[in-house]
């Protein structure tokens, strides 16, 4: 429950390259909260599709709450004020309250500079708007055999630490804001160790978003 009566829902934007694990993380959170494996229906209903190559104007509009859930970005043209999914006068409740980058541990080393450039542009806009930011590092099971075998070893693994440092330096986010997770992707039942990591990430993201809406009210 947000610490601000005007806000009923904290809005969190997940962004990152295709295949990074955004949809899987969304579904993983749902599985963890429900205590069972759920279907994918929920994720698809709020997904904003289309090209990751957002133009500067589109990024600003998205972060400021002009773009309604479910909008599909067109790589060839920007959203216009005439579009049905364009909100003319967004207020605090419509804005993005926390920006979360999703990066896969197994391919972060070989991801092109171009991808980080695009992600950096989104981060910069968010920073200008003082929106808090975090990184979810997915697919930890794919980079470390020790962790694949026993997820409880995650904070003991040198490989995981290295990958977190790589995410931190390539995206310019402090280590303290990076949360490693293993998403639900082939499991038939929920698992406490996976849940702990997912809930730790979620708890921090929700706290950051809540800090933001409280701070904005203080400023008004």
Ligand X SMILES: Nc1nc2c(ncn2[C@@H]2O[C@H](COP(=O)(O)OP(=O)(O)O)[C@@H](O)[C@H]2O)c(=O)[nH]1
| CA angle 104–105–108, rounded 5-degree value | 75
Using CB under 6 A as the binding rule, whether residue 23 contacts ligand X is answered as: yes
Taking the complex as a whole, the smallest distance from the CB of residue 18 to Mg ion amounts, in Å, to: 7
Decide whether 23 or 204 has the Cβ nearer to ligand X.
23
Closest CA to 99 of 62, 126, 137: 126
Cα distance between residue 144 and residue 163, in whole Å: 10
Decide whether 61 or 182 has the Cβ nearer to ligand X.
182
Binds ligand X by CB under 6 A, chosen from 19, 35, 75, 145: 19
Decide whether 63 or 102 has the Cβ nearer to ligand X.
102
Q: How many CA atoms does the CB half-sphere of 210 hold within 13 Å?
A: 12
| CA angle 181–185–191, rounded 5-degree value | 65
Q: How many CA atoms does the CB half-sphere of 133 hold within 13 Å?
A: 23
Site string for ligand X, 127-166 (x = CB under 6 A): -----------xx-xx------------------------
Using CB under 6 A as the binding rule, whether residue 122 contacts ligand X is answered as: no
Using CB under 6 A as the binding rule, whether residue 183 contacts ligand X is answered as: yes
Residues engaged in binding ligand X (CB under 6 A): 16, 18-24, 102, 138-139, 141-142, 182-183, 185
């Amino acid at each position: 429950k947000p610490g601000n009566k005007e806000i009923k829902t904290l809005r969190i934007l997940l962004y990152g390259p295709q295949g990074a694990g955004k949809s899987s993380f969304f579904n993983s959170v749902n599985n963890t909260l429900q205590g069972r494996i759920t279907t994918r229906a929920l994720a698809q209903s709020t997904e904003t599709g289309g090209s990751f190559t957002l133009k500067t104007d589109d990024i600003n509009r998205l972060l400021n709450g002009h773009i309604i859930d479910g909008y599909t970005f067109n790589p060839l043209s920007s959203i216009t004020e005439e579009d049905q999914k364009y909100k003319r006068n967004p207020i605090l409740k419509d804005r993005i309250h926390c920006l979360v980058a999703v990066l896969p541990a197994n391919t972060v080393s070989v991801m092109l500079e171009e991808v980080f450039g695009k992600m950096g542009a989104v981060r910069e806009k968010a920073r200008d708007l003082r929106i808090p930011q975090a990184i979810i590092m997915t697919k930890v099971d794919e980079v470390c055999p020790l962790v694949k075998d026993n997820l409880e070893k995650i904070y003991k693994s040198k490989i995981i630490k290295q990958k977190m440092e790589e995410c931190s330096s390539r995206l310019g986010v402090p280590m303290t804001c990076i949360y490693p997770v293993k998403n639900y992707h082939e499991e038939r039942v929920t698992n406490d160790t996976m849940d702990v990591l997912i809930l730790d990430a979620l708890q921090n993201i929700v706290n950051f978003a809540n800090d933001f809406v409280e701070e904005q009210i203080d400023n008004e």
